[in-house]
Structure 1
């Protein structure tokens, strides 16, 4: 959750920062701004959930800033904190949605209670049940189904201008303007079981359509092509009025998709991986963009497949595409288990994968001969799945020192199906171990990159959004990952590193306290002294004199 403190008095901003950082238990990414224009710069690149805002500031007043925030981020909550006990201010503030009002003279406990109350409201809103009444649900689902064939035509390269003319002649409407570009996002919803989607397809689709409507109403038109087994391609088109009112429509859209991801995790209990193409494209270019998104999502999840939710922007170009083709078995049981094997391989779920492999082994063992065609078809189906996976994620060099790969396509070395499946199980064990090591290495690399950036930029403001862009993961994920790997909050690590560098500079240099405060990222000498004494028990000047003596 992102919190922004805005006040032209530096001491008040720093005091509130320290107060909230120490006493609010939930993980918060707290940012500071000392003017309305500085706050707008932060809002143009980062979603803010809660603001503490001074009403009376030079330049942009707090009320003017709040109106802009409400237009750009309508779900943002604002706590006006001011020295002015004036009815007109209170009246104007209360006319805006999601606002409350406190005097600066209130006690710390009152301020903290108001912040906690706002946080609870934000969490509750994010988890609100979005069920529609039956008539709305029916209409939305019907509209969605009617659009599927049209979206498939667009995705398969049909001329959008011809489609538009056909719709006009038929007197039909479409939610998107064919003359305007769209943002594309590819989303994978990770199902809890192989049958979940098939049994509840209508409910499943409606849950995400309804959530999109709640998050994007009055800002973006949208539609979604339902692909298969939890895979969706979203089309987003900003409304003209909305594009004029917001400085960065991509940032807004990405933040809404992160809200969708969080709702899916917390309320629907499904992980989501979503990748957003950062430039709007014409409808005629959607097919090419779709395949690039699909490949990027597959590569991005290498070594960490299906284990965490994420929302990220498309970045790396991919020049090749690997597809998996499965032969249909004459036996329904074998066909079903082959599908499950592939499903659980790509979900990186070892226990379920092994159960599917054992079921296929038992089917093959019913065949007396190693040359039985039905059993060979099953074995080669498993091999095709594994080879395609290894090729897609470039794992051959990792696996080669551990186990032979050629028996996947060379059956002559085996004298029985028991022996053949013994090899497949050992091979699969090595494959899953490689994936586990790769995931660990990848996470350690991300943490190292974050720590290196922090150490090299301690004299600057270090925001979670900046770190997110450095490692190309969403803010929620890197915050959780950092705490999981290191055992402390990211903000606490930054604070400790600032103090550690300050101690070093105080002990080894004769620089003025103000210079050292600036070099370690503290806004003022007064705030630096307050933090340093709280951490060490003595003031910076006393610490410096101690080492000089």
Structure 2
């Protein structure tokens, strides 16, 4: 069966080509793409035999697409669509593997005839090469990707039927023995590999993976996985036969049938990984860290052990230093970012149109991360999701989606280095806050919302002192009775209710995050009588301040 891919950035022309009677010339499946980049993604996901592409498209041109196809999919036949003024480009493209070209405007019968001739040519080539040999060649050309995909399925626990695993291991020429011990190694690029682009990070990661495979293959069977989030995952199994290690005879290499592979020696593996770090530093001028699960039953324990490695890596900050650790040696406690949850929240600031205060809060959060050495992937994601959820709430209040409010910059890919570098996270926060401020300031000014923001700032700044209705009214130059009525109309609560809620939420955060004595904490929140503060706190949280604090310290 022949599969055809049609590529054109003109929707009407593309649909017109798709609507042809391709089955009449033996085309079994027709796929389409509106750009060169989209075509490249289709080629990654689906087998294709013939590509018909326009030469002039935005982004990746048809000429660039043909070069890409020749480099990565040499078996695919390309037909070029060219305007009269583009004949020189068409002639150049033929040098890059184009089998033919058609001049625009294209008549359907000419297109069908040319694709039919190309299909017949493919049929002849297949007969000459033999379907079996061709299948083997295709398999070998895709072997690294197929192996990485199989390992990803095992690590993610997506391979539910293990009965056919041995057949796939044999097909992919993997000599790993089931129900035997393996080691799972996760490598991470540290801060010296600095780039603002995820693609550059991936290239560095592939280089690290190649060096690691070359070095580790001296003593282990190595099964490399895909590059994800700046991590390189490797599965190792000893080449040494277990009986040879326990006996006095010379070590025998796998395959052997009478005993399983020997367990991976954690000390020797540590030495090899240290050597790997030295080679990466010398060849790539960068640092890598390694986290190891030395005893993993293959394949049954892979998903659980892999998740443990990912979870531990997310707790360890990236730095200029590097490490080699066995899983479980480093168990940092994940602590909440107090600046993020101390009132007022990001959502409250954004809802009140307090753009500069929101930027200040983000700076405080990132500063806390740095001061506590907590610039981990876990903390970066915590900040990202907190701010994004607050922005989504504001967008939905306006009847919009988040991209409609602040642009597509609000959507950060899972593999983005934004989650791994604080300066990129800071820039992302600044960009989306600028976007929501621009959207907010483009609307007519709301004096009442500005008044509420002014009131809230005064309360937050003076919470330990006088925040009576009279003092607030003096600050905003309004009569206390009018101010009270106006505030309740706008905020749907009394000023006194807001002050009490702010005090209680701030008290709860201080109890969880500091060792401040309760009577001192009461004074910080404007309570002259500590027992009265405790009474109000218990009514609010159904626990005394000390009981509330003990709940968190018991963890």
Q: TM-score, normalised by structure 2?
A: 0.35
Higher normalized contact order (CA 8 Å, seq sep 6+, divided by chain length): 1
Larger radius of gyration: 2
Q: TM-score, normalised by structure 1?
A: 0.36
